[in-house]
Structure 1
Amino acid sequence: MHITLRQLEIFRAVAQYGRVTGAAESLHISQPAASMALSELEKHLGPLFDRNQGAGLKMNDSGRALLPKASELIDRAKELENQFAEDGSYESGSLVLNASSTIGNNLLPKMLARFRESYPGIRIDLEIDNTRVIEQRLLDFNTDLAVVEGVCLHPDIEVTTWLEDELVVICSPDHPLANKGNIPLSSLANELWVLREPGSGTRELFDEMIATQLPSPKVAMVLNRSEAVKQAVSDGVGIACISSLAAKSTLDTGHMATIGVTGLNLKRHFYLLTHKRKYKSTVFTQLCQFILASKPFETFDFYTQGI
C-alpha cells in the first residue's frame, strides 16, 4: 500500500467541497488529476464517499473515520515544512480562524494585528459566520479553531470559556423609551423587533430570555449581521437586542439608544472552540494561548448604570 500526502489533501478537499471539481480548483490542479488521485486512494482504502447522481459526493463512515487522521498528517507535514524552510523555529505557518459576527467584527481585527506583531511569520485567515455554521465547519475540519458567542454542546468539540459579554435592548434615539431605565419587559409587547438570524448566539439568547416572556414577539425583519441590525434600529425600523460590545460605538455617536429593561439576565460568554481530534501544532497552540490570554474589553453594564 502506498498512500501519498497529495492524495490525502485531495480527499480532504473533496470532503470539504462535496465535488471533485471544487476540490481541484481549490488546490489549483486539473479535475482529471484530482479524480485519479482520489480513485487511487480508494483502491487502497475502499470507498470513502457515497456517490449519488447529481448530488455530489458525501463521505461515508470510512471517509468520516479517515478525515481527522488525514488532516493531522497534512498539518504535521506543513509544520515540518515551515520549521525547516525558515530559521528552525515554529513561528511561521498559517491557520484559518472562524468567528461569529460580534467577535469577528468588533474584537478580532485588533487582536490579530497584535498577534502578528509577535509572530509576523504566522498568517491568520479570519472568516465570519454564525455559531451553528461554524460548529459544522469545525466538525468537517474545514477550519482550525473558532471563537463564538453561542453555546456548543457537540461531544467532538472542546469548549473553553473566554470572555463575558452582555446583551442590551437598543432603539432609535427618538423612541419614547430611549435611554429610560426600569422598564418592564411587558411594556415591549407591542414593539417591532429586528432580530439576528436563527443559528446565531445572539438570536439563541433572545429566544430563550425574551421571546419566552412575550405573548408573541412581532418581528419586523431578520438580519444576519449586527451592523445591519444597528442600522435598521437607527433608522427606526424597530428595537433589537444585541451585544453591548457591538452596540457601543453606535451608542457613543448618539445614533442609537438603550432601553433599560428590568428583570432580564442577558449575560453570556464568548467561547474558544476546537475539534478534540484535530492535531494541535505549535502554531495552533500559540494562537489558542494568545486568544485565551487576551482581555480586550471590560463588559459595560448598561443596566446598573441606570441607562
Structure 2
Amino acid sequence: MIRLDTITLKQLRTLQAVAAHGSLTAAASEVGLTIPAIHSQIKNLESAVGTLVLIRSADAGRMQLTSEGTELLRAANRIEGILSQAGAQIQARFQGRVGHVSLSVVSTAKYFAPRLVRNLNDRCPEIEISLRVGNREAVISDLDQGRCELAIMGRPPREPQVEATPLGPHPHGVVLPPDHPLAQGDGYDPSLLVRETFLSREPGSGTRTLMQRFLERFEEGHSTRVIEMDSNETIKQAVLAGLGLAFLSLHTVHDELAQKRLAVLRGPYLPVMRHWYLVAPVQLAQGPAAQRIAREIVDLNGIYLPKLAIA
C-alpha cells in the first residue's frame, strides 16, 4: 500500500541528488550525508511507495530512475519550485512589498523583457518582479515545476497545461549582410536561397522549427546546410562576419536593422508572422500579485515590443 504521508522532503531531495549524479557516493557528497544514510533515505522512500524508485544500470553501473522514480522526481522538482516561490514571497514581505512574481521568458524575449519589467515596476512598485531567461525547454520546465507564475514565449506548450493570452505580433525572417546578392531588390530566387549556409539555434528551439518549415517549401530534395550556434548574439555576429544567413526573430535584430548593419530578406512568405503569448500554468493557482502583473502586462498592449519597419 502506498503511504504518501510518510514521504519526507529529505527523502525527495536525496532522490534528486542521486538522479542528478547517478551515484550514491556523489549524492552523499552533495547533501552532506553518509552513503549508508543516502541508502536508508532511498529505501524508506521505496517503502512508502511500495516499489523500487532506483535501479543500477547493467552497463555503466549508474543509478537510474524507474518509471515510478521519475514520477517522484517530477513531484520533488515541483515541490522545490513551489517552496522557492513561497520563500520569495516571504522575502518580499520582509522588504515591505505586497508580493513577488517570477516571470520566465524565452531567450528571444530578452531583447524587450527588461523594458517590460521597467514598465511593470513603474506601474506596480509594491510588487517585486524577478526575471528568468532561458530557452524554450527551460521556460517550459519552469512552468511545469512551479519556478514561475508567468511566462512569455511564442508557441504555448501542450504540457503543462497553460492559459495563454496573445500579447502582440512576433515577426521572423531571414537576415543577411546588406551587400549580399539576395538582399538586393524585393524578391529572391528560392533555388539560390536553399544553397546558402544557415546559422541557427539548437534543434527544438521555436525559431529553428519555424526556419525548417520555411525552408522545406523550397528544398525539393536539397538539404540546406545548417550550422548550430548557442545564442542569438553569436548568430548575429556570424552573419555580420559573412559566415552565412540566419532565420531569426526580427525583434532580436531590431538595432542592427535600424542601423543598416543587417538587412532582411524580402519576398514571398516573408516575414513569417507569429505572436507572443503570456502564459500561466493551470496547475498552480495564481496569487493576487501574479494576477495583478498579468493584467498589467495585457493592459500595456505590447508597447514594450520593438517597432519594426518591415513590409
**TM superposition score normalised by structure 2:** 0.74
| 2-structure distance, mates of 1:243, 1:63 | 35
Q: Equivalent residue for 1:191?
A: 196
1:111-190 to 2 correspondence within 5 Å? 111-116=116-121, 118-119=124-125, 122=128, 124-129=130-135, 131-136=136-141, 138-139=143-144, 141=145, 143-144=147-148, 145-150=150-155, 152-154=157-159, 156-160=160-164, 161-178=166-183, 180-190=185-195
Q: Which runs of 5+ in 1 are unaligned?
A: none
Counterpart among 96, 109, 112 of residue 114 in structure 2: 109
| 2-structure distance, mates of 1:266, 1:203 | 13
| 1-structure distance, mates of 2:63, 2:228 | 31
Q: Is the 8 A contact 1:93 1:121 kept in 2?
A: yes
Q: Equivalent residue for 1:10?
A: 13
Amino acid at match of 2:54: D
CA deviations 1:87-141 (Å, max 9, x no partner) are: 698733463x4432211x2121222344445356635251312x245435544x1
Considering only aligned residues, what root-mean-square deviation do their CA atoms show, in Å?
A: 4.0
Change (3 A) 1:71 1:63: same
Q: Is the 8 A contact 1:100 1:128 kept in 2?
A: yes
| 2-structure distance, mates of 1:23, 1:279 | 33
Q: Is the 8 A contact 2:54 2:69 kept in 1?
A: no
Q: Which runs of 5+ in 2 are unaligned?
A: none
- Asked if 1:255 is matched to 2:257, the reply is no
Q: Equivalent residue for 2:248?
A: 242
Amino acid at match of 2:218: Q
Counterpart among 61, 65, 72 of residue 58 in structure 1: 65
Q: Is the 8 A contact 2:105 2:152 kept in 1?
A: yes
Q: Is the 8 A contact 1:75 1:279 kept in 2?
A: no
**TM superposition score normalised by structure 1:** 0.74
Amino acid at match of 2:237: Q
Q: Which shifted more, 170-179 or 112-121? A: 112-121
Q: Equivalent residue for 1:267?
A: 273
Amino acid at match of 2:200: L
Offset, 1:271: 2.8
Amino acid at match of 1:7: K
CA deviations 1:164-215 (Å, max 9, x no partner) are: 2111221112212335313353442432222232111111111112233233
Amino acid at match of 1:163: G
Q: Equivalent residue for 1:209?
A: 214
Q: Is the 8 A contact 2:194 2:218 kept in 1?
A: no
SS at match of 1:248: helix
Amino acid at match of 1:86: R
Aligned residues: 296
Amino acid at match of 1:244: L
Amino acid at match of 1:60: S
| 2-structure distance, mates of 1:21, 1:113 | 46
Q: Is the 8 A contact 2:175 2:246 kept in 1?
A: yes
| 1-structure distance, mates of 2:228, 2:11 | 40
